[in-house]
Amino acid sequence: MTMSDQPIPSLTGWTEAELDAAFAALMREVESSAAALDATSAEAVEAFRLHWLGRKQGRLKAVSDAWLKAAPVEAKKLLGQRFNALKAQVEARLDDASSASSASALDAEAIDITLPGRARRLGAEHPLIKTLNEIVSIFQRMGYSVGVGPEVETDYYNFESLNFPPNHPARDTQDTLVVAQQERKPLRDRLLMRTHTSPVQIRTMEQQPPPVRIVIPGKVHRNDAADATHSPIFHQVEGLCVDTNITFSDLKGTLDHAMKELFGTSVKTRFFPSFFPFTEPSADVQISCPFCGGKGCRKCKHSGWIELLGCGMVDPAVFGFVQQKQPGYDPKKISGFAFGMGVDRIAMMKYGISDIGLLYGGDQRFLEQFG
Ligand code: DAH
């Protein structure tokens, strides 16, 4: 027998005493079904509610239908009062049940202070950022300040003011990623992703008269296909020193010292003639292979030397561009040197990383080795 087809108790008569006895039996029924109720189960509480108060099939409705219909007029009020009391009783039990069930839900959510805490694992500095900071701090110790510049740059700062002639093939060697829909602007205002950090040399000099000693770390972008040694985004540290009587010897001494700080005092440097539009003379700097000490190994392709950076004396034409805003950069009175190095390549050498993609893949198993 299910709850809904329980028989309706029979009434012996309509006196108050008889009605009280009949309702007392129903009250006991309410109490015993409430006592049997599993208050932690929302379904069981709902079933209890439907069993007693359901509008169509509820037991109160069935009993009231049966009794009220048969009742003589003078008994209807007595019946009504008792029904209301019975209904209030059912509702009170329902309230008890639902507060018990929400309390048990709270219990389930409560914090168990006996459980061990959640350990937060310490992050590790990314090998690129670590290398970049190391390079920057070597120059800071020599009195250099640190600057930054925008990654979305104009043709003027990225090329023109650095003495790249328009349509000169040197522009192509940098595989520039350009911003779309710039064709209607004059060439110099067109936006592109900077291909090197050198434009910040110009921005720095435009902002302050000489002397200048600054390093500029940052991201650069080129339209290169990714492989083990190329990434379309990589990092450079640019350097610029301008003052009276700055010579190529200063450049050599500064970079030789920086390389010894970076790779150890046994490392030697050598300077090869090169070309950059913004320096004259220009040089490529090689360091003796820190892996084999210069004897020749796979890392240095058996030459004993590894090429690491470009540099040179600032071309007077570059000062000419800067002078439009800062007349103090008079190439007859001042001179300077500049250099630029690839941070990714240096990080790969320092940490023995053979694929540049590992620096950008975000693989924790790789990164946590540097903690
Ligand atoms: N900007 C050059 C490049 O990305 C590197 C460079 C060479 C920077 C010589 C310099 C420099 O400041 O003097 O290839």
Is residue 280 a known part of a binding site?
yes
Average pLDDT over residues 29-43: 85
Residue 254 has pLDDT above 90, yes or no: yes
CA angle 261, 265, 271 (to 5 degrees): 80
- Asked if residue 37 lies in contact with residue 48, where contact means CB atoms within 8 angstroms, the answer is yes
Query: Looking at ligand 1, which residue's alpha carbon is closest to its atom 7?
Result: 310
Report CA(79)–ligand 1 centroid distance (Å).
Answer: 101
| Sequence-distant (≥ 6) Cβ neighbours of residue 34 within 8 angstroms | 48, 93, 96, 97
pTM of the shown model: 0.70
List, for residues 44-66, the tens digit of each pLDDT value: 888 888 898 888 888 888 888 88
Report CA(359)–ligand 1 centroid distance (Å).
Answer: 22
Average pLDDT over residues 18-30: 88
Reduce the DSSP state of residue 308 to 3 states and report it: strand
- Asked if residue 258 lies in contact with residue 280, where contact means CB atoms within 8 angstroms, the answer is no
Residue-range domain boundaries for the chain: 16-108, 127-370
Report CA(134)–ligand 1 centroid distance (Å).
Answer: 19
Question: Over pLDDT 90: what percentage of the chain?
Answer: 61
Query: Looking at ligand 1, which residue's alpha carbon is closest to its atom 8?
Result: 340
- Asked if residue 26 lies in contact with residue 52, where contact means CB atoms within 8 angstroms, the answer is no
Instruction: Return the structure tokens found at 255.
Output: 């970079």
Rounded to 10 degrees, the C-alpha dihedral 54/59/60/64 comes to: 120
Report CA(333)–ligand 1 centroid distance (Å).
Answer: 24
Q: Pocket around ligand 1: residues whose beta carbon is below 6 Å from it?
A: 196, 198, 238, 276, 279, 310-312, 338-340
Cα Rg of the chain, angstroms: 43
List, for residues 64-121, the tens digit of each pLDDT value: 888 888 888 888 888 888 889 888 988 888 888 878 777 766 666 778 888 888 888 8
Reduce the DSSP state of residue 217 to 3 states and report it: strand
Average pLDDT over residues 141-154: 98
Query: The domain 127-370 is classified under which CATH number: 3.10.20.30, 3.40.50.2000, 3.40.50.300, 3.30.930.10?
Result: 3.30.930.10
- Asked if residue 126 lies in contact with residue 370, where contact means CB atoms within 8 angstroms, the answer is yes
If one residue of 175, 224, 278 were mutated to test the ligand 1 pocket, choosing by the most ligand atoms within 8 A of its CB, it would be 278
List, for residues 268-321, the tens digit of each pLDDT value: 999 999 999 999 999 999 999 999 999 999 888 999 999 999 999 999 999 999
Residue type, 317: A
Residue type, 3: M
